[in-house]
Amino acid sequence: ERRVTAVLDLTTTELADEIAGGVMSAGPTRLHAAIAAGLPQVLSVGAVDMVNFGPPDTVPAAYQGRLLHRHNPQVTLMRTTPDESQRIALRIVESLTPARAPTILLLPRLGVSALDAPGQPFHDPAADEALFTTLRDRLANHEYVRVVDRQEHINDPSFADFAASTLIKLIAAAGSTHNERDPL
């Protein structure tokens, strides 16, 4: 019905579950709907540092030696490795490659989740850098996708403000004749 004019999608954690076999995958077409509809969008990589499982006894044996965090009695989280982070980035690149509407991908350089902040159990600069570098390198020359590094944590209010103001600019640009591909 064309009621949606743009998309703000900051928490793409289901991609980690899709790549590493967690229980919260949204399937292989995660990120495809907005692109198929030709919608402008602002995206980020919120919580792609964690793979979801049920209680600790449900974590597959192959992952028992990994960094695990008991979120609550029903949810156990596993930190993604640099290799998994790169694979998540490649899935994002694959999903965004067909984009033909302005797409802004925000990279929160100071952490992608509350557990990934400095001093927290999932803080892993090498895994984050594998994600960020792959995204930046693979999307550098895309006509419609712009990667924006932010020296903020994904949970910083300034990150949310920037994401929202960027989305508003995309919506305004879509309704005008000025440069729709780079509203920043």
CA 121 to chain centre: 19
Q: What mean pLDDT do residues 130-155 have?
A: 98
Q: What is the pLDDT of residues 153-167, one digit of tens each?
A: 999 999 999 999 999
Q: What is the pLDDT of residues 40-69, one digit of tens each?
A: 999 999 999 999 999 999 999 999 899 999
**How high is the pLDDT of residue 129?**
98
**How high is the pLDDT of residue 170?**
94
**Biggest CA pair distance of the chain:** 56
DSSP symbol at 115: G
Phi, psi of 9 (to 5 degrees): -135, 90
Q: What is the pLDDT of residues 74-91, one digit of tens each?
A: 999 999 999 999 999 999
* pTM given for the model: 0.93
Please check the confidence at residue 33 and state whether its pLDDT lies above 60: yes
Could you give the count of Cα atoms lying within 13 Å of 75 in the half-sphere of its Cβ? 9
**How high is the pLDDT of residue 183?**
58
